[in-house]
Amino acid sequence: MGVLRIVRLAFVLLLWLSPLAMAQLPSARLRSIFPPAGQTGGSIEVMVSGQDLDDATAIHFSHPGISSRSVADGIPTEHKFIITIAPDVPRGVYEARVIGRYGISNPRAFLVGREQEAQPPKENISADKAAALAVNLAVSSRCIAGAADYYTVELKRDQHVLVECSARQIDSRMNPVLLLYAPDGRELDRSRRGGLLDITAPEAGRYTLKVHDLLFGGGPERFYRLAVTTAPHLDCIFPPVGQGGSKARYTLYGRNLPGGSRSEYPGPDGKPLEQLDAEIQLPVDPANGSIEYRLRGDSGESNPVSLALARDPVVVEQGSNGKPSAARKVAVPCEVAGRFYPRDDQRWIAFDAKKGESYWIEIFADRLAPPAAPYLLLQRVTSDDQGSERAEDVREVNGVEVPAGASPLPDLAGATRDVIFRFDAKESGAYRLLVRDLFNSGQEDGTRVYRLSIRRASPDFRLVAAPLVLDPKSENSTSGILLRRGGAAPIRVAIARVDGFEGEVQIDAEGLPWGVGGTTTIAAGQDRAVLMLAAHDDAASWAGPIHIVGRARIGARELAREALCQAVMWPGTDDEPAWSRSTGDLAVGVSDELAPLTIDIGDDRIVAAREGDVVGLRARLIRHAQIKSPVKIKLAGLPQLDKAAETTIEPSADEGTVELNLAQHNLSPGVYSFYLQAGAHVMYEPGVKKGNNGGGGREIQETLYSPSIVLRVLPATHK
């Protein structure tokens, strides 16, 4: 399994977005770090830009070996830092967040490489002004709308180098196009589908590189890092999965592999890949169900590739099993690793099952890179009186359709074409599975692999956590999580229930400072909940990463699972969809400012009622700012409450009662967690730490929240 299964249900998070699109109180928002990369063992000066980055003091990185110090420059919207990278920091991409007066910002990617970083070119938008690059040198730049950047590099005859253009992986909106020209001006190679060129120089001389955005867009959001390197590059590892706790040999496929030999498989660009065997010891049960593997050589360290961990024995496809009569026989439960190669390839897997046995059959293909749309056909195989084979179709599933309502957010709401189903053997005997790529997509590509799991049910769950998104087209969706004293901030949590698990899950925020708490419950059979972080009136200033952990009892097992975190990287526009991705952690800032309004629910944090009852929840308003307009309060946090009516509290009143009709909202027996959501026009004045600010500052429209309310609904006949 592993966290990749989460994308099947994570699209719930987007469907669950609040329809309100209101201005927010100031909260640190990081738009870019430039240059977006540094060299292992070195230092680099960067500029960060964004909004509400006042008094920025540091950049927090997801690796402890990367540190920063501020360089005062007096520019209110841009800040300079010196970033220092320890020599033992592996090559890869890490999260960076700016810490300032308004908390800790949203994350942005920062790349650590082995190449020396050159100064960004000032003007190289024509071939005659091309910037000079050298082998094992990298440079960062920004696209100019309607233009292309030019670089030159001196190569020797038969010299083999890779040109890597990092963009999407460092949170850039750029879609890079690379073109390579020989010394005599003829085009040698190009890449429109990714930022990699695999070059063997046909002659000695000066080669020219042309780089531009696919649609010739430009601006600070379209930046890139370009490197000419001899470091090893991994395209894939096969098999892509191993049994937890095992030590086995794997084949690495890529370019510039030290000691590697030419393989029979081409890469996504059609160039032949090298291969190299490696023995790898796998941990028994890593938290996320996979590890990152890097190859190290004299010329540097490779990019990381993911190697998944399986619970059951792994069977690697060997030989030809492209016909039903040649089906590969396996013992179940197991996990089969194979590849969709060559094009139009199909694979048959055979196994025996006894009457009454149950298995979950799941394929990982669309969730791997490069993706494929899998097709599965399960058949029962019998023989007639003459001994002739007969095949009866039991189940046919394919990835032609993604779940209804899937959003353009690829990770936060990422639908997948991968399929899973439960197989209950009604008769003992022989069964077989056909596995193929439904669309036979792409060209001949030996890196297009899959994992097929045939396992016995082992109920489990995985979690996805993301900050509240008011509007995916708003810049507000990319800000950090900031708690003010007396305030609350919601985090949405979705659950992927594995192998039929339907139980209740307790959700807690761990690693919070004193004065801040957060807990909630995902009710049995529910697929989401809101975790409300609430700060006491005397909470101290703080910023740092936290962990969202879910716990459940499944039979005799006590399970704890940490949530995979998600964040919106760029809001959507009329021309581009919103874009989000997984993040290495979730960070929270606590401000010593007072929230403009605190919603005090008193003893109503834990409520018990019978099915069908009407519950009155008292909401007392504690005003730390002047609020001249009525405050609109509604129930929120559960899909059943989406159409709940609003309660109005006039400016002259300090409290009101919000009615919860269990019958109207179809709340059956169980445990639920929700909150009160208030919309108000408040006067905000920065720096208010106690008392009422007397109406100073500016008027803003803001959404505020109560702490979580836990409701236990009892059966109507309960005594």
Query: In this predicted structure, what is the pLDDT of residue 692?
Result: 56
Sign of CA dihedral 693, 698, 699, 701: negative
**Residue 556 burial by Cβ neighbours in a 10 Å radius (0-12, 13-18, 19+):** exposed
* CATH of region 596-719: 2.60.40.10
- The DSSP code for 444 is S
The proportion of the chain whose per-residue pLDDT surpasses 90, expressed as a percent, equals 61
CA distances to 119, 285, 289, 455 from 245, in Å: 45, 8, 12, 18
Query: In this predicted structure, what is the pLDDT of residue 426?
Result: 94
pLDDT > 50? residue 167: yes
Across 336-355, average pLDDT: 92
Across 629-653, average pLDDT: 90
d(CA 155, CA 167): 25
Across 203-226, average pLDDT: 95
Which two tokens mark 579? 């874009």
Query: In this predicted structure, what is the pLDDT of residue 456?
Result: 93
Mean model confidence pLDDT for the chain: 87
d(CA 512, CA 361): 39
* CATH of region 116-229: 2.60.120.380
Query: In this predicted structure, what is the pLDDT of residue 385?
Result: 78
Query: In this predicted structure, what is the pLDDT of residue 73?
Result: 61
Across 155-168, average pLDDT: 96
Instruction: Give the model confidence (pLDDT) of 659-673 as tens digits.
Output: 999 999 999 898 888
CATH architecture label of 325-457: Sandwich (2.60)
Contacts of 41 (CB under 8 A, 6+ apart): 85, 86, 87
Buried b (16+ CB within 10 A) or exposed e, 582-601: bbbbbbbbbbbbbbbbbbeb
Query: In this predicted structure, what is the pLDDT of residue 401?
Result: 52
Q: Which has more confidence, 475 or 470? A: 475
Strands (E) located in 20-173: 29-34, 37-39, 43-51, 58-61, 66-71, 78-85, 92-100, 103-104, 108-113, 116-117, 131-133, 137-142, 149-155, 160-166
Contacts of 643 (CB under 8 A, 6+ apart): none
Domain 116-229 shares a fold with domain 325-457: yes
Instruction: Say what the alpha-carbon torsion angle 353, 357, 360, 363 is, to the nearest 10 degrees.
Output: 0
Q: Which has more confidence, 225 or 699? A: 225
Which two tokens mark 642? 């989406």
Listed by start position, the domains of the chain span: 116-229, 233-301, 325-457, 596-719
The β-bridge partners of 485 are 594
Across 376-381, average pLDDT: 96
Other beta carbons less than 10 A from residue 430's beta carbon = 17
Least confident of 19-33, 376-390, 622-636, 663-677: 19-33
Query: In this predicted structure, what is the pLDDT of residue 627?
Result: 85
| 238 confidence band (pLDDT: 50, 70, 90) | very high
Contacts of 514 (CB under 8 A, 6+ apart): 539, 540
pLDDT > 60? residue 414: no
Across 168-179, average pLDDT: 94
